[in-house]
């Protein structure tokens, strides 16, 4: 049996696991939390994507037949607090709440801010817990389901793995609830139209993400080199196996490694909006040590770019790297040549010590 290996994972847990009877419960969460705690002790990094705020708050808001948008948002506002308290009680570390809308993920500046926030939380050993911001999101602002939100989170966090917890063992060749002969598909190497047809409808009465959205999420991830696993979140033995590196559920195999996928994206897909000229010391740090580009090594800034855009990094009139810049051209010009400790004093703010972080940089 192939070993299940990973370094940074996004784990998605749905409403039916968090609030099985429209009330927060640790019935299914304790095993997941043990797996996360043990993984973190091994030096691995985890980001949780947690549904359940509306379900957790449903009993707290009076409604007649079908809750209105305002009533659902009120449920989410109360339920989010219960859900976070429930998760926090299970972990041995600080938990951080991150609430997102689709607009946050599609806006360049906010996307960069989300990425930087996740990076800092992981750097400081906190556990980020992500959910859709149901208290403010309307139809046009919603991602729509937390399976796809988990996929977007895996992309922005540069995870190598997405684990989606379902209420069945994985993807079957037929509906196991109706067909006792249904067979679990243990590995998917290509997501074809036939695979999509196996998805069927939503399987949960309280969640919006059935197998259809789980396959959509897997498809987004495998194209970017992120392995995706659908497992039964109600089965504690699943997480005992995963902790031992044993595969369970359905594995969607990525087309290429995450690093190669990202390098190809940076090298060939993004248009550069300017250039950063660096000195020889900075060049050696980038090429020989795999370091981030710090302002102290910058000699000049060319172009008019904003934070989050791609720039060429040049030394001795040669492009040696390409990356996503953390500061706009004007701010970068003001801090070039300075130590990182002086960024905030010079600009009045700081989004990090690097001009281009090593995670967002590819050598040419």
Residues 6+ apart with CB under 8 A from 123: none
Based on the domain organization, do 102 and 228 belong to the same domain? yes
Query: Strand pairing partners for 165?
Result: 13, 231
Residue pLDDT, tens place only, 233-288: 999 999 999 999 999 999 999 877 666 666 665 665 567 889 999 999 999 999 99
Among 51, 87, 44, residue whose Cα is nearest residue 243? 44
Residue 332 near residue 325 (C-beta atoms within 8 A)? yes
pLDDT of res. 202 = 45
Residue pLDDT, tens place only, 120-144: 999 999 999 998 886 665 554 455 6
pLDDT of res. 49 = 95
Based on the domain organization, do 204 and 299 belong to the same domain? no
Q: Is the pLDDT reported for residue 44 higher than 70?
A: yes
- The continuous run of DSSP H or E covering 335 comes out as helix 329-335
Instruction: Decide if 79 is inside a domain.
Output: yes
- What does the alpha-carbon distance between residue 161 and residue 334 come to, in Å, rounded to a whole number? 38
Based on the domain organization, do 286 and 343 belong to the same domain? yes
Residue pLDDT, tens place only, 194-203: 888 887 644 4
Express as a percent the part of the chain with pLDDT over 90: 49
Provide the residue range defining the domain that includes 315.
270-363
Residue 5 near residue 225 (C-beta atoms within 8 A)? no
Based on the domain organization, do 149 and 279 belong to the same domain? no
Among 237, 86, 214, 197, residue whose Cα is nearest residue 162? 214
Sheet holding 8-13, edge to edge: 95-100, 127-132, 45-50, 8-13, 161-166, 227-232, 250-252, 187-188
Express as a percent the part of the chain with pLDDT over 70: 90
pLDDT of res. 335 = 95
- What does the alpha-carbon distance between residue 285 and residue 19 come to, in Å, rounded to a whole number? 49
- CATH code (residue 297): 2.30.130.10
Based on the domain organization, do 38 and 106 belong to the same domain? yes
Instruction: Decide if 261 is inside a domain.
Output: no
Give the pLDDT band of residue 209 (cuts 50, 70, 90): very low
Based on the domain organization, do 195 and 286 belong to the same domain? no
Q: For residue 329, with 0-12 CB atoms within 10 Å meaning exposed, 13-18 middle and 19 or more buried, which class applies?
A: buried
Residue pLDDT, tens place only, 304-357: 998 888 899 999 999 999 988 999 999 999 999 999 999 999 999 998 899 999
Residue 17 near residue 29 (C-beta atoms within 8 A)? yes
Based on the domain organization, do 111 and 216 belong to the same domain? yes
pLDDT of res. 356 = 92
Q: For residue 139, with 0-12 CB atoms within 10 Å meaning exposed, 13-18 middle and 19 or more buried, which class applies?
A: exposed
pLDDT of res. 269 = 53
- The first and second tokens of residue 8, run together, are 């940074």
Give the pLDDT band of residue 176 (cuts 50, 70, 90): confident
Instruction: Return the SS3 of 95.
Output: strand
Distances (CA, A) of 257 to 141, 160, 184, 254, 267: 32, 8, 25, 7, 15
Based on the domain organization, do 129 and 156 belong to the same domain? yes
pLDDT of res. 206 = 38
- What does the alpha-carbon distance between residue 143 and residue 157 come to, in Å, rounded to a whole number? 17
pLDDT of res. 96 = 96
Query: Strand pairing partners for 319?
Result: 314
Instruction: Decide if 275 is inside a domain.
Output: yes
Mean pLDDT of all residues in the chain?
86
User: What is the domain count for the chain?
Assistant: 2
Q: Is the pLDDT reported for residue 165 higher than 70?
A: yes
Q: Is the pLDDT reported for residue 207 higher than 70?
A: no
Higher pLDDT: 15 or 3? It is: 15
Residue pLDDT, tens place only, 52-90: 788 888 888 888 778 888 888 888 889 889 889 999 999
Based on the domain organization, do 61 and 112 belong to the same domain? yes
What would the DSSP string read from start to end of 1-22? Answer: --B---SEEEEEE-HHHH-TTS
pLDDT of res. 203 = 45
- What does the alpha-carbon distance between residue 350 and residue 65 come to, in Å, rounded to a whole number? 50
User: ∠ at Cα 13 (9, 18), nearest 5°?
Assistant: 145
Give the pLDDT band of residue 204 (cuts 50, 70, 90): very low
Based on the domain organization, do 228 and 291 belong to the same domain? no
- What does the alpha-carbon distance between residue 120 and residue 124 come to, in Å, rounded to a whole number? 6
Give the pLDDT band of residue 15 (cuts 50, 70, 90): confident
Higher pLDDT: 16 or 301? It is: 301
- Taking the CA of residue 168 as centre, how many other CA atoms within 13 Å lie in the half-sphere pointing to its CB? 23
Residue pLDDT, tens place only, 295-316: 999 999 999 998 888 899 999 9
- CATH code (residue 187): 3.40.1160.10
- The first and second tokens of residue 197, run together, are 């047809």
Based on the domain organization, do 276 and 330 belong to the same domain? yes
Q: Is the pLDDT reported for residue 205 higher than 50?
A: no
Query: Strand pairing partners for 172?
Result: 184
Instruction: Decide if 263 is inside a domain.
Output: no
Tokens 């808001």, residue? 61
How, if at all, do strands 227-232 and 8-13 pair? unpaired
Residue 314 near residue 278 (C-beta atoms within 8 A)? yes
């Amino acid at each position: 049996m192939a070993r299940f290996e990973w370094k940074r994972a996004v784990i998605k847990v749905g409403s039916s696991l968090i609030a099985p009877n429209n009330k927060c419960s640790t019935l299914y969460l304790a095993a997941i939390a043990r797996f996360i705690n043990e993984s973190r002790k091994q030096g691995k990094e985890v980001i949780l994507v947690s549904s359940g705020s509306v379900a957790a708050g449903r009993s707290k808001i009076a409604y007649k037949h079908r809750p209105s948008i305002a009533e659902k948002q009120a449920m989410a506002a109360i339920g989010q607090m219960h859900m976070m308290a429930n998760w926090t009680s299970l972990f041995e570390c600080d938990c951080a709440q991150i609430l997102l809308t689709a607009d946050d993920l599609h806006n360049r500046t906010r996307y960069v801010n989300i990425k930087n926030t996740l990076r800092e939380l992981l750097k400081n050993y906190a556990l980020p817990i992500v959910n859709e911001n149901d208290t403010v999101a309307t139809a046009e602002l919603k991602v729509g389901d937390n399976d796809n939100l988990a996929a977007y989170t895996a992309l922005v966090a540069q995870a190598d793995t997405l684990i989606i917890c379902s209420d069945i063992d994985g993807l079957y060749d037929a509906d196991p609830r109706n067909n006792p002969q249904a067979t679990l598909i243990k590995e998917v190497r290509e997501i074809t139209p036939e695979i999509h047809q196996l998805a069927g409808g939503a399987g949960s009465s309280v969640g919006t993400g059935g197998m259809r959205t789980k396959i959509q999420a897997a498809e987004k991830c495998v194209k970017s080199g992120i392995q995706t696993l659908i497992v039964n979140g109600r089965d504690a033995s699943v997480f005992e196996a995963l902790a031992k590196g044993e595969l369970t559920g359905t594995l969607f195999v990525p087309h290429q490694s995450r690093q190669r996928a990202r390098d190809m994206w940076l090298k060939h897909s993004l248009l550069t909006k300017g250039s950063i000229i660096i000195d020889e010391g900075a060049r050696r740090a980038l090429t020989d040590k795999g370091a981030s580009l710090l302002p102290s090594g910058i000699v000049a800034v060319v172009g008019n770019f904003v934070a989050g855009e791609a720039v060429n990094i040049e030394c001795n009139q040669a492009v040696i790297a390409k990356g996503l810049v953390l500061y706009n051209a004007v701010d970068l010009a003001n801090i070039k040549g300075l130590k990182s400790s002086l960024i905030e004093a010079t600009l009045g703010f700081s989004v990090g010590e690097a001009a281009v972080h090593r995670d967002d940089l590819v050598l040419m």
